[in-house]
Amino acid sequence: MDYSRPICAFLALVVFYLSHLAQTADAKINFREKEKQILDQILGPGRYDARIRPSGINGTGDAPTFVHVNMYLRSISKIDDYKMEYSVQLTFREQWLDERLKFNNLGGRLKYLTLTEANRVWMPDLFFSNEKEGHFHNIIMPNVYIRIFPNGNVLYSIRISLTLSCPMNLKLYPLDKQTCSLRMASYGWTTDDLVFLWKEGDPVQVVKNLHLPRFTLEKFLTDYCNSKTNTGEYSCLKVDLLFKREFSYYLIQIYIPCCMLVIVSWVSFWLDQGAVPARVSLGVTTLLTMATQSSGINASLPPVSYTKAIDVWTGVCLTFVFGALLEFALVNYASRSDMHRENMKKTRREMEAAASMDAASDLSRNGVS
């Protein structure tokens, strides 16, 4: 039986497969080399100046550059009532058109170019106007990238953590709702040169199963907040986050203990009025405990000039406890007054009886004599 023909066919197939792998590897190497050539071509010295902003619509230099913004809220770590601030971690994205960065996509094989150095291209001068603190993330590598698309579109994405100011109205605390904003604006470019726009569709996304210790994120709204100063009008975007405070924590930690203290102070009503040490100890202990509870509540809140709902509650509870102690003092005083009057009457009767007995003895002595 002749096995030469199958063996030759098998060897020819192996040679074809190996040559195909070699061509594919060469294509990949050439393809990566082509990316380098494109980057050198569009960002090389004397070809691109990152200090000059992109042209406006239809390549006109007089029209402003439009920057579309969207973000992904990864977490909200805390909402501080005392400092009136909140911390958030987000992925922030900006997208704009820079026609100077157009390139050949090699027949659709090159979807985009990726950069990790933001200073290589022009960047919008956006800043967070209500920011207190903030930092970038650099573990393991800097969490930032820039994608350049064949038509000149530029996508900038970065992960940042921010601590933002959140002015609060605590008049209804702890039954209140708070609106915290995240404001973004241009620092140097006016609306004649740079305009920020929310990306169409879904500009703000929130991570699923977002959990906060004492708040619930009810909804969020996007809006514009352009500001005018003596140097011009600046583009501004904002996100309003509506938080509802969870009442269960305060019910367990504040309201139920206060009710229990008031009820304990009423126990003195069933004690004998002669049990002075017991009633005084009970009244003073509940009064001091209620005062300590009220001080602990106010210690976690800022010293605002208006009356809060929790102040009304603790004030009423403190009034009830103080009223129970005052009731004992009044009852004790009234009982001592009644006892004093009874003693005075008894003494008067004894004096009258003694006087009548003296008068009778005097009469009897006079009759005998």
As a whole number, mean pLDDT of residues 352-364 equals 65
What is the pTM (predicted TM-score) of this model?
0.75
Q: How far apart are CA 191 and CA 195, in angstroms?
A: 5
As a whole number, mean pLDDT of residues 231-240 equals 93
Q: How far apart are CA 289 and CA 338, in angstroms?
A: 33
Q: Which domains does the chain have, with CATH numbers?
A: 57-246 (2.70.170.10), 249-357 (1.20.58.390)
Which H or E run includes 287?
Answer: helix 276-299
pLDDT in tens, 301-329: 898 889 999 999 999 999 998 888 888 77
Does residue 180 have a pLDDT over 90? yes
Q: Are 229 and 269 in contact (CB under 8 A)?
A: no
pLDDT in tens, 184-207: 999 989 999 999 999 998 899 999
User: CA separation (Å) from 83 to 75, 163, 175, 180, 306?
Assistant: 19, 11, 19, 13, 17
Indicate the SS3 state at residue 94: strand
Q: Are 142 and 116 in contact (CB under 8 A)?
A: yes
Q: Between 42 and 296, where is the model more confident? A: 296
As a whole number, mean pLDDT of residues 88-116 equals 87
Q: Between 150 and 29, where is the model more confident? A: 150
**Gap between the terminal Cα atoms of the chain:** 180
pLDDT band at 31 (very low <50, low <70, confident <90, very high): low
